[in-house]
């Protein structure tokens, strides 16, 4: 089959690789009908995710048709149309039972290695390094789905691929970001980043009852789309974000602040040694504001800072004094996608949201490497790329 494979910083290729096979009774094989490139894939593309190997298949936003099921899998049958969550979870362990699927303690076979870095291990992820299980990803013609009797959700035929594909990641992620904010009537939510995740967070904040959303970015097309969703927008290159947010909130700050940016690619990617990266992460000697620090400063007393942007390495110099003196709550996670799926599929079915509004580009798998660049460089108004392998 054909698949997108990683060969080093900035080097994605579309190659012929062996077809995946059932390896365990609970597995399923999916013929991929649509998959997307995520901002998290850009961290791999930018070379800042450790434990990648040449030839690794990337991709974790995937859906398609079931073409084979393992002998123990009673949940799926050949022909089912499913969306696959990016988090791989067993459904039975201590964490899965509590709904914390992205903390599954069984799905990462390399958890000892991950624990050395993080103290313990999150769940395995598709196409996201050997630290997180070394699973092949879904930017491919076919995908092996482990624990396929727990993860994939069946989708009805009257909804198109593009309407449901983002249940795999960015819709639950943006929704969780807003959910973490415990939104009350009259609340103002400030959101850093108007990429695909930020866009989902804006719509979700309104779905959950926010009175006002202030969205921050600098890319004109992304700010325009945020405005279309009803957000008030600020360009961080033109305005002092802290001053403007204070001005807009009677000097109090936003009720909650969402970081939908994470590791800022151009602050980290151009540094080759880990020492340089730590230096940059520590002192932020760049012309960009440091999102997390700004989100903390702009949050009102006893407000919430909700972090869904992904961070690599050590992000230091966090103003803990500001957070503790003012009673801030921090919430953050890799999204336990499975937990949100039934609720969000229901919201799509009821017509409360059509997540396909972020799609700007569609391409073949062969064109994938080119579109990684288009997405990273935000060329041609690119906000979200969908690839159609079959
Ligand atoms: P993206 O790279 O397309 O979007 C990031 C946006 O942030 C860009 O539009 C960029 O212009 C903007 N930005 C950069 N610096 C900024 C600043 N100082 N202030 C305001 N905006 C700034 O990525 P995406 O697909 O939207 O993903 C966003 C983040 O969410 C990534 O870090 C990704 O890894 C992460 N993510 C996390 C999860 C999770 O489970 N927690 C899931 C999916 C994605
Ligand atoms: Zn993702
Ligand atoms: Zn589990």
* ipTM confidence score: 0.99
Is the CB–ligand 1 distance for residue 218 below 6 Å?
A: yes
Q: Does residue 390 register a pLDDT over 50?
A: yes
What pLDDT score was predicted for residue 279?
Answer: 46
Every domain of the chain with CATH number 3.40.50.720 lies at 171-332
Domain 2-169+335-387 in CATH 3.40.640.10? The answer is no
How would you class 10 by CB atoms within 10 Å of its CB: exposed for 0-12, middle for 13-18, buried for 19 or more? middle
> Residue range 21-45: average pLDDT?
97
Q: Mean pLDDT check: name the lowest of 47-56, 246-255, 277-286, 368-377.
A: 277-286
- Kindly report, residue by residue over 161-172, the tens digit of the pLDDT: 999 999 999 999
Ligand 1 pocket, residue 334 CB under 6 Å: yes
pLDDT at 272 over 70: no
Q: CB–CB of 168/63 below 8 Å?
A: yes
Which pLDDT tens digit goes with each residue over 84-129? 999 999 999 999 999 999 999 999 999 999 999 889 999 999 999 9
Fold of domain 171-332: Rossmann fold (3.40.50)
Residue 228, token pair as written in the block: 């279309």
Q: Among the atoms of ligand 1, which is closest to the Cα of residue 222?
A: 9
Work out whether strand 299-307 and strand 188-192 pair parallel, antiparallel, or are unpaired. Answer: unpaired
Position 316 scores a pLDDT of 64
For CATH 3.90.180.10, list the domain ranges present in the chain.
Answer: 2-169+335-387
- Which strands, in side-by-side order, build the sheet including 329-332? 232-235, 212-217, 188-192, 254-259, 299-307, 329-332
For the segment 271-280, the average pLDDT, to the nearest whole number, is 47
Atom 29, ligand 1: residue with shortest CA distance: 309
Q: What's the rounded mean pLDDT across residues 280-296?
A: 64
Ligand 1 pocket check for 172: Cβ under 6 Å: no
User: Which pLDDT does position 290 carry in this prediction?
Assistant: 81
Determine if ligand 1 sits within 6 Å of the CB of residue 42.
Answer: yes
pLDDT of residue 125: 98
Per-residue tokens: 298: 């702009």
The residue assigned the tokens 């602050």 is: 267
pLDDT tens profile 351-366: 999 999 999 999 999 9
Nearest C-alpha to atom 23 of ligand 1 is from which residue?
39
Cα dist from 118 to 50, 56, 114, 115, 131, whole Å: 13, 23, 6, 5, 11
Residues above pLDDT 90, as percent of the chain? 87
What is the CA(120)–ligand 3 centre distance, in A?
A: 14
Nearest CA to ligand 1 atom 33: 40
**8 A C-beta contact, residue 47 and residue 56:** no
């Amino acid at each position: 089959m054909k698949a997108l494979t990683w060969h080093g910083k900035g080097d994605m290729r579309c190659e012929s690789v062996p077809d995946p096979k059932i390896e365990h009774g609970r597995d399923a094989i999916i013929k991929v009908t649509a998959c997307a490139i995520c901002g998290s894939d850009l961290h791999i593309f930018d070379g800042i995710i450790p434990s990648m190997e040449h030839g690794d298949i990337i991709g974790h936003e995937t859906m398609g048709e079931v073409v084979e099921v393992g002998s123990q899998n009673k949940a799926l049958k050949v022909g089912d149309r499913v969306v696959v969550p990016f988090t791989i979870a067993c459904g039975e362990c201590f964490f899965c039972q509590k709904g914390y699927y992205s903390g599954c303690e069984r799905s990462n076979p390399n958890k000892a290695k991950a624990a050395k870095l993080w103290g313990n291990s999150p769940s395995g992820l598709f196409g996201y390094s050997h630290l997180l299980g070394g699973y092949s990803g879904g930017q491919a013609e076919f995908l092996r789905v482990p624990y396929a009797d727990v993860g994939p959700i069946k989708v009805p035929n009257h909804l198109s691929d593009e309407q449901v594909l983002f249940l795999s990641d960015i819709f639950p992620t943006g929704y969780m970001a807003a959910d973490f904010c415990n939104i009350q009537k009259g609340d103002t939510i400030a959101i850093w980043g108007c990429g695909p995740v930020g866009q989902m967070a804006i719509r979700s904040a309104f779905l959950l009852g926010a009175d006002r959303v202030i969205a921050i970015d600098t890319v004109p097309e992304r700010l325009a789309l945020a405005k279309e969703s009803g957000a008030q927008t600020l360009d961080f290159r033109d305005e002092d974000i802290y001053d403007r947010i204070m001005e807009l909130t009677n000097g109090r700050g936003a009720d909650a602040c969402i970081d939908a940016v994470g590791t800022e690619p151009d602050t980290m990617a151009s540094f080759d040694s880990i020492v340089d990266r730590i230096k940059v992460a520590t002192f932020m000697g760049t012309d960009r504001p440091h999102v997390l620090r700004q989100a903390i400063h702009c949050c009102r007393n006893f407000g919430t800072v909700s972090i869904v942007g992904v961070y690599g390495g050590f992000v230091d110099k966090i103003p803990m004094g500001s957070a503790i003196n003012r009673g801030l709550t921090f919430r953050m996670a890799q999204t336990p996608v499975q937990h949100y799926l039934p609720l969000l599929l229901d919201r799509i079915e009821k017509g409360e949201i059509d997540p396909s509004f972020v799609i700007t580009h569609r391409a073949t798998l062969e064109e994938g490497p080119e579109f990684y660049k288009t997405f990273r460089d935000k060329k041609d108004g690119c906000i979200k790329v969908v690839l159609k392998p079959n």
